[in-house]
Amino acid sequence: MMEFPVPIRFVEIEKSGVHIAVSGFVNGNLANILIDTGASQTVFDKNRIFLFSDQTEFEVAEKLSKGLGTDSMEGFKFSINQFILGDIVLEDFDVVSLDLSHVNASYSELNLGPIDMVLGGDFLRKYAASIRYGSAELWLRM
């Protein structure tokens, strides 16, 4: 098993907190990705999906994460042909797309760029992730 470091950045939230973000490539396009250790599932913003895919029809997702206020949200299955995070290249990576406009509205109020994707517990657990705050790195095992 090999470990791979991925540089992370700390996003200051009104001088009272911090979010952890990382850049990656989704189908060849640069994506702004929030790392959320409290989110059960990795999700993609359904309002930004068209910047990353030509896919026009999506299948409704049956199970949804409850951590993002999704009790009444409709989610859609989305397959990423290629997902690159640091030196890791994943092919045919399946995620659910949800409306993350509430997250992006908050980011906009703080003059921060939009979030395209949230890496949740499913991804972080699968790749035995560890966040090293001192060196500003996300370490993943494959």
Structural domains for the chain: 3-141 (2.40.70.10)
Rounded Cα distance, 49 and 47, in Å: 6
68, pLDDT greater than 70? no
Between 69 and 140, the more confident residue is 140
* pLDDT mean over 66-84: 70
Contact 127, 140 (CB under 8 A): yes
pLDDT of 61 reads 63
Lowest mean pLDDT across 6-10, 33-37, 46-50: 46-50
95, pLDDT greater than 90? no
Rounded Cα distance, 98 and 87, in Å: 27
The token duo for 58 is 């999506």
Contact 141, 128 (CB under 8 A): yes
* pLDDT mean over 4-28: 93
CA torsion angle for 60, 68, 31, 94 (degrees, to 10)?
Answer: -40
Of 110, 79, 106, the closest CA to residue 92 belongs to: 79
101, pLDDT greater than 70? yes
Spatial CB neighbours of 125, under 8 Å, sequence gap ≥ 6: none
CA torsion angle for 128, 2, 83, 74 (degrees, to 10)?
Answer: -20
Average of per-residue pLDDT values in the chain: 87
pLDDT of 26 reads 96
pLDDT of 65 reads 44
Between 140 and 52, the more confident residue is 140
The confidence band for 67, taking pLDDT boundaries of 50, 70 and 90, is very low
The token duo for 140 is 């993943």
Rounded Cα distance, 75 and 98, in Å: 5
